[in-house]
Amino acid sequence: MQASDVQELAEKVAAETSPEAQETAARLTALMRHLFLYDRGNQLRVLEDSGLSMTQCKALLELGGLGGSAEAWQVSDLAEVFGVSVPSMSRAVDGLVKKRLATRVEDPADRRARQVKITAKGKDFVETLATIRQTGLQSFAATLTAAQRRKLDAAVDSLMDREDIAKTFEHLKGAGSV
């Protein structure tokens, strides 16, 4: 995405968003930016050391799904989700297959077609990234006062009625990460 595309998207979303939601987004951005840099780039270092491209990382995380929900994907569907061309995504998947992080499997609905599925090695890599992120967040949480932690817990807890967030939290609890 080009800088002009980003600016255009930002202007469009801002025009459709209330000032209150924009303020909330600004606060979340400040927090997320701080958290992203809090661990001094450990997560980015693992990504760099892997030799994976950003497209490969995004595809692998998507293939990893959430817990046991990893499913096979068509390359064209992955390309559409991430806004890249099918040939570009196909090259990215080829690299994942070469590194044994993903495999191509027969499409059960169309035996002529192939799908992409994450391997055990790929799942291990995704879990490594999640563990690094969790470790950084634990370090940050340890710097909060008890009152700050209670307020943050209350704010986050109020979002647990969202199915997408609750599902992720339950997965993390089940995996022993929480």
Q: With a cut of 50, which residues of the chain have pLDDT below it? A: none
The per-residue pLDDT for 120 is 95
In a domain, 70, yes or no: yes
Domain that holds residue 26: 1-38
> Residue 54 falls within a domain, yes or no?
yes
Task: For residue 151, tell me if it sits in a domain.
Answer: no
User: For residue 1, what pLDDT is reported?
Assistant: 61
Residues 119, 53: one domain?
A: yes
- For residue 150, the model assigns a pLDDT of 96
Q: Is 62 in contact with 73 (CB distance < 8 Å)?
A: yes
Q: What is the model's pLDDT at position 148? A: 96
| Nearest alpha-carbon partner for 132 in 50, 10, 53 | 50
pLDDT at site 144: 95
- Tell me: do 19 and 81 sit in the same domain: no
Residue 100 lies in a domain: yes
For residues 157 and 37, give the distance between their C-alpha atoms in angstroms, rounded to a whole number: 24
Residue at which a domain ends, from 87, 109, 124: 124
Residue with tokens 């959430």: 66
Distance CA 74, CA 19 (A): 40
My answer on whether 62 and 15 are in the same domain is no
Structure confidence at residue 90 (pLDDT): 95
Q: What is the CATH number of the domain that holds 53?
A: 1.10.10.10
Task: Check residue 14 and give its pLDDT.
Answer: 83
User: For residue 95, is it within any domain?
Assistant: yes
| Domain's final residue, options 101, 124, 147 | 124
Write b or e for each residue in 165-178: b if 16 or more Cβ atoms lie within 10 A of its Cβ, otherwise e. Answer: eeeebebeeeeeee
What is the number of structural domains in the chain? Answer: 2
Q: Return d(Cα 134, Cα 82) in angstroms, integer.
A: 25
Q: Do residues 74 and 41 lie in contact, with contact meaning Cβ atoms separated by under 8 Å?
A: no
Would you state the pLDDT for residue 69? 59
pTM exceeds 0.85 for this model: no
